[in-house]
Amino acid sequence: MTERNTDRLPLTAAVLAGGRSQRMGVDKTLLDVDGRALISCVVDAVGEACERTLVVTNRPDSLTEADLPREVRILRDEVAYQGPLGGIVTALAETASEWMLAVAADMPHLTPQVIRALWDLRDGADAVVPVTEKGLEPLLALYRVEACLPVARDLLATGRRRPVAVFGRVRTARVPADALRSVDPDLRSLINVNTPADLLDARESATEDPRYVRGGVKLVDSTVRTMPREMPVTIHMNDREIATTQATPDDLEDLAAGFLRSEGLLTDRDKLRTIDVDAQRGLVWVTSAEEVPSDFATRHRYLTSGCGRGVTFASVDDARGLEPVDSDLRVSADELYDLIGEMARRAEKYRDSGGVHACGLARAGELAIVREDVGRHNALDKVLGRAWLDRVPTRDAVLLATGRLSYEMVVKVAKARVPIAVSRSAVTDLAASIADELRITLVGYARGGKLTVCTHAERVVASGEEA
């Protein structure tokens, strides 16, 4: 446990964790962000600024897994599943200090500096609330107990459950969000984690920016976090060993088909006979009427830049010799962004552990296939393998990925004749160079409401235009 700051404000923080997490699909407060439960990130932040911390929830027993500090008091919501106003009333009624901070349990980037900045603006007011372009932020606001508790109770009794209604009945200091940029330049403290796509952003941000590491390094029991599975998987074709890769031992039939397809060993679906899998030992046997080339054993293998010990037999020169991808497909930026979000919602292993990559294949605006693996190359092979096995056309499709798009990923995309590939992560310069030659549209950094189109931007239509 980290040592608490002794110079704290005479303020009680109420962390509201009573929501249903409907858009996430699971209880988001316990999801992992950089080795801690999401709610722990918030509790640690408010604990550095506030003398006392309360957590209001409908599920007190579930918080035993969150490893919260012993001094945190857990309250059951007075009005379960009726919105945050019930939680605010519950916390105000149990607050001994003059002021209370209400904060949502899904704000992992909240900093003590923002809390102190709001505290300094309370003079002459009964409430202090930030104002963004979306409106008032009642779940990162200060409430003076004596003034706000009776008002909130009255609103709750009359069926008005929106917390913002409180501010119309008490003296309220409305703080423009830009006024907080001096302590939080990117206003990250105001970001909520509502969807799997938001969770991806939060996990990436937690590891990218050291400014958001607080209170020293904390040791976390490994039982708190689900570990992604990984093992060596050896692929055989017609009784010949082809390659061994480190992979998540799920969907191994798809992995083998996709890998052999991308390496040119499987080309005719009708000639495929069987795929047998021994997941316990990490062995896959593929039999096909297509023969393994006689010179296969002497071919040079290239270790890729990816995780999972990716391997390919395609060199950069081989990649540049592929036939360009011709397609009239045009997709709107909004549709691409929505598809990335949908893939994140269906990537259950990433949501649970944060340690795997996901890939997806979309056609006609619908996400057809999603697969996950510790290796980004494997995840792509699994998607393309399943598409090949099910005879799902990949021409005029969109490939989606959480991991970096490097040259060997582009080669796999080109061989499948996919015209557009989108990633939440980066695009390497070599990948962009090859994609440009092969007429593939590469899109990177698809997160935070933005897309970066790196090659053949003519296929991506700006929002508001017709595709």
The DSSP annotation for 179-196 comes to GGTTT-TT-GGG----SH
3-class DSSP state of 51: strand
Amino acid (one-letter) located at 459:
R
Residue of 41, 148, 307, 454 marked catalytic: 307
d(CA 88, CA 103): 9
Burial of 459: CB neighbours in 10 Å, binned 0-12, 13-18, 19+:
buried
- The four Cα atoms 284, 285, 291, 292 give a dihedral, to 10 degrees, of 40
The CA-atom distances, in angstroms, between 202 and each of 71, 128, 174, 195 are 27, 26, 27, 11
Strand partners, 429: none
Instruction: Give me 91's structure tokens.
Output: 């916390």
d(CA 448, CA 446): 7
The CA-atom distances, in angstroms, between 17 and each of 62, 105, 445, 455 are 11, 5, 31, 43
In this structure, how many other beta carbons lie within 10 angstroms of the beta carbon of residue 376? 28
> Up-side HSE of residue 434: CA atoms within 13 Å toward CB?
26
Burial of 143: CB neighbours in 10 Å, binned 0-12, 13-18, 19+:
buried
User: Is there a catalytic annotation at residue 148?
Assistant: no
H/E element, 91:
helix 84-93
Q: How far is CA 148 from the centre of its chain?
A: 36
d(CA 109, CA 315): 42
Burial of 96: CB neighbours in 10 Å, binned 0-12, 13-18, 19+:
exposed
Q: Which of 71, 59, 128, 72 is CA-nearest to residue 98?
A: 128
Catalytic residue positions?
A: 307
